[in-house]
A and B are shown apart, each in its own frame.
Chain A
């Protein structure tokens, strides 16, 4: 299976993209547009599927951020962990599933399975060969899940989820706020990952970000400077 294109030229050119079966920690300080970068990395394009597990934004905001044309709407699937706290009776839709709160790990696991099954059905209906699914998962954000649940439990839960992503040869992008966490949390969560993207805000120009991408196998792309204009990521020369 081909690597997943990131839409970031320097990564795609050097490494082909993100290798199937990778789980990548996206470590960024607040106000560094980590969500926007995650959306960029998790874009399904016209061949992949994206599952967003969100405890930060509701389904509507996520759908807006992804901005897919209607014809590609079937590529975006969402597990929304916050809307039900405000609209308790909201029913699941085909693409969007709701759980009671970010604490509801039972519900999240079940909805994740349902979505994987749903994607398989969508693919089968389009007569695509089984086993060629390309799935990008975006977790927004580990920091929010950690507010409600102990690290040990979060670690176990995402250990299982990341293994499932690996099994289907997908990729996972996990946002973690680098400021709200201690070393132990970061080092524990890093054990689930085989790659890390670290984002920094440029000291001189706060609209410029600097990311480096490092795989545990030693491959890396150091220092890519970029800025967002709208939702477009523009790499600095």
Chain B
């Protein structure tokens, strides 16, 4: 197994990339997403793997220098073999037809393999695709890695659309295809990645936002989890309990647009499974109205809190829950005040709220951090792993 080193992504794919698999990172133009490959290379190297890096667009020195400006720098030791623009030009000068170039590349990597057996190959493929054809270039490496049992990671600049990517994946045996694209909702400076295809587990095709931190590291985000429910259910208590940095609701500013909310919240409130999560409360807005509707816009997930001792309170919250359902946002139910007497049964709760068996529901005390974090964890799993939606 080779980790990508991006915890949220590793968690999603079951820990990391199993040996011998073929991974494609597809980048939309202009999107700062080279860190996915950088981080994986850095992890593979730190795990003691022997890596071959093919960077036809630049020199080995320039490549390593670029890496070293991020937290993913690697040392150029004998487990790190780099074929750079010099190799490309050498092959270019000696071969005329694409077939000759194909053969020359194969001979070249075979020669590397004879000296050092390889665990992983990292290919920056665009220049090769341009030179010998996309299909040929990709099959050269997918087949070579298959024969040698090496794990393959490819970075590809996709100048076309997602259909092009799907066509590429259909004709090449990639086990994991991650498309990295521009933007997320209307948030500034946030991009997203999406697992479009994976063979060893099942995942939803859903945009996962991330930012690049000041130091150049990737930070997957859940920019907006809305905590809502009827009055006195324990929403404020829940947020206070889980928040690492408590921001009062005055600062949240209920009139703020989602953009300014995220900007004001520049810092995360909670981290969970490798995500930085921003929680948004619905201060003083227990009844359905335009403000709740507005707060729910662009929500990645919803935590719906109810007071497990009060049928009356449950009923009052149903209007909001209905809105959440209609928006198709993933949500979980936290039944609060579990240490109080008079708890409603699961069956009653599910009937009143008309929940499917698959909607996570847990009994918690919002005063207990571990229990409250469990709710967030369940929601993250739902958002990133579950392929069903209600």
A and B are interacting partners: yes
A residues lining the B interface (CB < 8 Å)? 84-85, 88-89, 91-92, 99-101, 103-107, 109-110, 112-114, 117, 149-150, 153, 156-157, 160-161, 164
Is B27 at the interface (CB under 8 A from chain A)?
A: yes
What are 27 inter-chain pairs, A to B, with CB distance below 8 A?
A84-B58, A84-B62, A85-B59, A88-B62, A89-B62, A89-B65, A91-B69, A99-B58, A100-B55, A100-B58, A103-B56, A103-B57, A103-B126, A105-B126, A106-B29, A106-B34, A106-B57, A106-B124, A106-B155, A109-B31, A110-B31, A110-B32, A113-B30, A149-B127, A149-B130, A156-B160, A160-B159
Q: Are B29 and A157 in contact (CB under 8 A)?
A: yes
Interface of A is mostly: helix
Residues of chain A within 8 A of B155, CB atoms compared: 106
Residues of chain B within 8 A of A106, CB atoms compared: 27, 29, 34, 57, 124, 126, 155, 157
**CB closest residue in chain B, given A103:** B57
Q: Are B57 and A101 in contact (CB under 8 A)?
A: yes
Q: Are B130 and A150 in contact (CB under 8 A)?
A: yes
**CB closest residue in chain B, given A116:** B30
Q: Are B34 and A88 in contact (CB under 8 A)?
A: no
B45-62 near A? 1/0 per residue, CB < 8 Å: 000000000011111011
Q: Are B27 and A117 in contact (CB under 8 A)?
A: no
Q: Are A88 and B65 in contact (CB under 8 A)?
A: yes
Residues of chain B within 8 A of A112, CB atoms compared: 30
Q: In the complex, what distance in Å separates the CA atom of A85 from the CA atom of B30? A: 22
Is B219 at the interface (CB under 8 A from chain A)?
A: no
Using C-beta atoms within 8 Å of the partner chain, give the interface range for chain B.
20 to 34
Q: Which of B58, B65, B69, B130 is A101 in contact with, Cβ under 8 Å?
A: B58
> Which residues in chain B, 26-44, are within 8 Å of chain A measured between CB atoms?
27, 29-32, 34
Known: A101-B85, A117-B189, A156-B159. A110 touches B34 (CB 8 A): yes
Is B63 at the interface (CB under 8 A from chain A)?
A: yes
Chain A nearest Cβ from B161, distance in angstroms: 11
Residues of chain B within 8 A of A105, CB atoms compared: 29, 126, 157, 159
Known: A106-B155, A153-B130. A88 touches B59 (CB 8 A): yes
Q: In the complex, what distance in Å separates the CA atom of A160 from the CA atom of B56? A: 23
List of 6 A-B pairs having minimum Cβ-Cβ separation, nearest first: A100-B58, A88-B62, A88-B61, A156-B159, A109-B30, A109-B29
Known: A109-B31, A117-B189. A100 touches B159 (CB 8 A): no
Q: Are B127 and A103 in contact (CB under 8 A)?
A: yes
Residues of chain B within 8 A of A104, CB atoms compared: 57-58
Q: In the complex, what distance in Å separates the CA atom of A11 from the CA atom of B124? A: 45
Chain B nearest Cβ from A122, distance in angstroms: 15
Residues of chain A within 8 A of B62, CB atoms compared: 84-85, 88-89, 100
Known: A110-B34, A149-B130, A153-B130. A89 touches B61 (CB 8 A): yes
Residues of chain B within 8 A of A88, CB atoms compared: 58-59, 61-62, 65
Residues of chain A within 8 A of B58, CB atoms compared: 84, 88, 99-101, 104
**CB closest residue in chain B, given A156:** B159
Q: Are A110 and B30 in contact (CB under 8 A)?
A: yes
Q: In the complex, what distance in Å separates the CA atom of A114 from the CA atom of B32? A: 9
Residues of chain A within 8 A of B189, CB atoms compared: 117
Q: In the complex, what distance in Å separates the CA atom of A117 from the CA atom of B189? A: 8
Q: In the complex, what distance in Å separates the CA atom of A100 from the CA atom of B31? A: 17
> Which residues in chain B, 56-90, are within 8 Å of chain A measured between CB atoms?
56-59, 61-63, 65-66, 69, 85
Chain A nearest Cβ from B361, distance in angstroms: 42
Chain A nearest Cβ from B263, distance in angstroms: 12
**CB closest residue in chain B, given A120:** B188
Q: In the complex, what distance in Å separates the CA atom of A106 from the CA atom of B154? A: 13
Residues of chain B within 8 A of A110, CB atoms compared: 30-32, 34
Residues of chain A within 8 A of B61, CB atoms compared: 88-89
Q: In the complex, what distance in Å separates the CA atom of A105 from the CA atom of B61? A: 19
**Most interface-central of B34, B56, B63, B65 (chain A CB within 10 A):** B65
Q: In the complex, what distance in Å separates the CA atom of A184 from the CA atom of B209? A: 41
Chain A nearest Cβ from B180, distance in angstroms: 11
- Apart from A103-B85, A114-B32, A153-B159, 5 more pairs, CB < 8 Å: A88-B61, A100-B62, A106-B34, A106-B155, A149-B127
